[in-house]
Structure 1
Amino acid sequence: MTGRVVRVERISPRPGGAEEPLWTTYGYQLADPKVGAVKHRAEHAVFVRTLDRVAALLDRGFSLWMSRSGKRPSLIAPKSLRIVRT
């Protein structure tokens, strides 16, 4: 896979519209698969500043928090995401 990452999409978004990767003041929020069933907890969050880095971590099995306006963020498994590159 080559090219710059321009978007990460959920393959089957929740009803009501598309979701985007959750951006916080620390960057995009992901969850490390090494911590198992507690990966959703805030203390296990991993933050990165670029979509290219998000894509690299998704390839390693990390899950990504995604959201849209008016909805709670959801933790999405990498197999349920599509990486769009230029």
Structure 2
Amino acid sequence: MRGRVIKIERICSRAGVIEEPAITSKGYQLADPAHGKNKHHAEFAVYAITLDDAANLIAKGFSLWMGAKGKRASLIAPKSLRIVRGQDGFAA
């Protein structure tokens, strides 16, 4: 996998909305799979400062919180996410 992460998408978004990774003052919010069925609890949240950091955690099995304007964020499993990377040397 080459290039910087430019976007993380949900493969099948909810109808009529464009979901984006949930970002807080601490960074992008993810859930650690080590906590099993309790991984969605706030005390087990893990934060990534950049999309690249988030993508690395997703590759290790972490789930990502995603939301849309006017919609509550949901926890999305790694298999339901697509990592979009830019080409090396490409300036956006």
In the alignment of these two chains, the number of paired residues is: 86
In the alignment, structure 2 segments of 5+ residues that lack a partner are 87-92
User: What are the superposed Cα offsets for residues 28-73 of structure 1, whole Å, 9 maximum, x if unpaired?
Assistant: 0000000100000000000111000000000000000000110000
CA shift for structure 1 position 17:
1.8
| TM-score, normalised via structure 2 length | 0.92
> Displaced runs of 4+ in structure 1, greater than 2 A?
none
Higher radius of gyration, 1 or 2: 2
Give the fraction of aligned pairs with identical amino acids, expressed as a percent.
62
| TM-score, normalised via structure 1 length | 0.98
CA RMSD of aligned residues (A): 0.4
Q: Give the Cα–Cα distance (whole angstroms) in 1 for the partners of residues 10 and 85 of structure 2.
A: 15
Q: Give the Cα–Cα distance (whole angstroms) in 2 for the partners of residues 32 and 25 of structure 1.
A: 19
